[in-house]
Each structure stands twice: as C-alpha cells, then as structure tokens.
Amino acid sequence: MVSAKVSSSAVLAAVALSLLAVPAQAAPTEAGAEPRPAAALPAPDTAGMAAVLDAVVAKGAPGALARIDDGTKVYRTTHGVADRTTGRAITTGDRFRVGSVTKTFSAVVLLQLADEGRLALDAPVNRYLPGLLPDDRITVRHVLGHRSGLYDYTDDMFANSVSGFESVRNKVFTYRQLVDLSLQKPRTNAPGAAYSYSNTNFVVAGMLIERITGHGVRTEYEDRIFKPLGLRDTFYLHPDTKIPGQHAHGYLTADEAGARQVDATDQTVSWAQSAGAIISTARDLDTFYSALLRGRLTSASGLAEMERFTRVNATTSYGLGLRRRELSCGISVYGHTGAVQGYYTYAFTTEDGRRSLTALANASNDSAVLNTLAETLEPAFCGKRAATAAARTRTPVEREDIAPAAPREQ
C-alpha cells in the first residue's frame, strides 16, 4: 500500500516560524572552489517519491517511508509494513534506530563544548583522554572528520552480518573495549592524511563528551539537543534493548541468499553507542537537521567548522559529523546516512535548512535496498527535474555509508 499526503498544522507552522527567525549560514566550500548561489527549490515530486518507495519494498524491504518538511507543508509517503508478523502498515510516525545519523548529534555536542571554550578542535585527543590513543598527533578534528586513521573495528565484528550481529545483540561494551578492538589493528593512514570512515572515531567522540562534561552522553544529548528542539520521539537508551512506543521493526537480510530475514529490532547497539545508538522519528530528524543548518545548535563559527568538507567522491563530501551531497539538479544537501541492523536511514536538509527529508527502509545488509533508498533525495529536493535514471547515475553509494558490514548483493 502506498500513501502520499500533504499536511500542515499550527504546531508545524510555529516550528517553521521559529526556525525562520534564525538567519541561514553559508556553507564553506573546499579550497579553490567557487561558492554557488542557492538554487530555487522546485516542489517535491510526490509521485516520484512514491515510486522510489515502491521500488525499495520490491527490492526486499518490508516497509519504507519518507517525510519531507518544507516549512509550511509536510509531505508523507509510505509503502509496506512496519511489522511482518502483524502486518501493520508502516507510518511516518514510527520510531526507528537511526544508526550513524547519531554521529551528527555527537559532533554537535562537541562543537557546543568548543563554543564554550571547554574543547579545542585542533588539540590532541590525548589532552582530554590521556594515554587513550597511540599517537598524540590525532586531534579532535581528525576524529570528527574521519581523518584519524583509527581502524574501524566493525569491519571484523560484522564480517559475517547475521552471526556477527547475534554475537553482540545483547552484549554491553565499554567505550574502552571498543577502542581496544580498533587498536589491535594497524591504522589506516597517518593522522590527517586521508579520509577513512571509522566507527571508532565516534566512540572516541563519546568518550570526549563524557570526560569533558562529567555526564553520560544521554544527559548531554537530552539537555543540549533533544529537549531544546522538542524532539519528543528521540531517545538514547543504551544499553536497553527495546524501542519504546510505536516503532518499525528492523529486518537484517541473511548472508545466505533466500534465507529468512532476521528481526533485529531488539538489541543493545552497545557495539556503536555514540557512533550509532540513537532512536528517533522522521519528524524529529527533519527538525534536527533544519535547526542545525539554520544555526540554532552551534555558533556561526561552529557550524562553519562542521562544514569544512573533505571530498569523498564526485558527489559526496564529509565535514565534522556532517555529509554534503550534490544532486543531479545542482542542489547540495546536508545531513547523514545511517545503517544499523534492520534499518537504513537518509536524513538531509538544504543549506538554508528550509527543506528537510528523512527516508527509512526497515531492512539492512541489502545493497539493492540501500541503493534504491538513496534515490529519495532526488524527488525530495529536485522535484520532477530529475528522472529516476539520472538519480541512479548521480547518487553513488559509498561503503562508508553502510557500516556495519558491506551489504550482500541481491
């Protein structure tokens, strides 16, 4: 079943007006690149979005959803089920695990601490966590931009997706245990030499938050982001295994072709913590990224630091816990992708924060599902300008978007 509708309400209008009160921040570009004028946004292509979600389900996801917040209007599109056992239809109000979208939340907390003078981005991590890392040259900036060279321990942990997941589903790790797993392997590059996505970096980010503030990351997320923005459906519950309230079940595709998907909904996500354990909804993620790009969460200089991007490939760049993607119509969007067992998430907004998209498929370990879900960006931001074929050629999927584990080809 596919549904697509547009709605507005007094509450949404109030949120939109509060966001409009903050001036937009211009995004810095890579050295030598000329800044481009902001392009006028066409209306979202709701029929195109419905077609993409239909394809996501046809590729193997039980359900898929997309929510576009355009300031005064909200567009909701869904297809398929949230729960294969009961057959309940998925809705855009369902809670889900956001995976690596968590990294932006962690980065925001550290940028706020930098704004408060409690942290220096170019200081060695070992200044705040003495003796943690084997190289004093690794800075906070290197960690937040995936330029530390620290090996991603999840490459080994989830080399076999299902058995790896089952071995850690109910396990509780300390941050130090996860870092130690990384340090058992050689580093991927010298500090600052190259971009190399690693969950280890944002485990270190969580340790920094807790050492500097004296509080757990849950407290800092809640006090600095969740409560101020009114994110009523966003939680950090580690190490609890249950998603509270109405939620989409998440299904992990088996490593063997044809085998039944594994319901991966209940888990500690302790293997990720500050790198990937937040639970949220499409509404809350739209609100979060819009607020971030409108300058509501950091100072103007803090946001500028987040937007100092390193090129990853022809269409993707990475800043500090923040991705930038360039779409086929010339529009750039800012946000993050997320993969955790059972869930793929795309959450992006325009550089002025005026239009935001969150899209979810409740499946993982499936490259066909992931590649198709990526196509939601085009109808959301480019409207009918971009045909599906153009979206497929302009939206490559990088391996670093999909940690843990490369998805099995279907």
Secondary structure (DSSP) of 169-200: TT----HHHHHHHHHTS--SSSTTT-----HH
Round to whole Å and give the CA distance between 63 and 147. Answer: 35
Catalytic residue among 100, 182, 328, 364: 100
- The count of other CB atoms within 10 Å of the CB of residue 322 is 27
Side chain identity at 249, as an amino acid letter?
Answer: H
Question: Are the beta carbons of 108 and 292 closer than 8 angstroms?
Answer: yes
Residue 100 falls in the annotated catalytic set: yes
Tokens representing residue 75 in the block: 């567009």
Helix (H) or strand (E) run with residue 31 in it: none
172: number of Cβ within 10 Å: 12
**Strands, sheet with 356-361, edge to edge from the N-terminal-most edge strand:** 2-7, 74-80, 63-69, 356-361, 343-350, 332-340, 323-326, 316-318, 310-311
Catalytic residues: 100
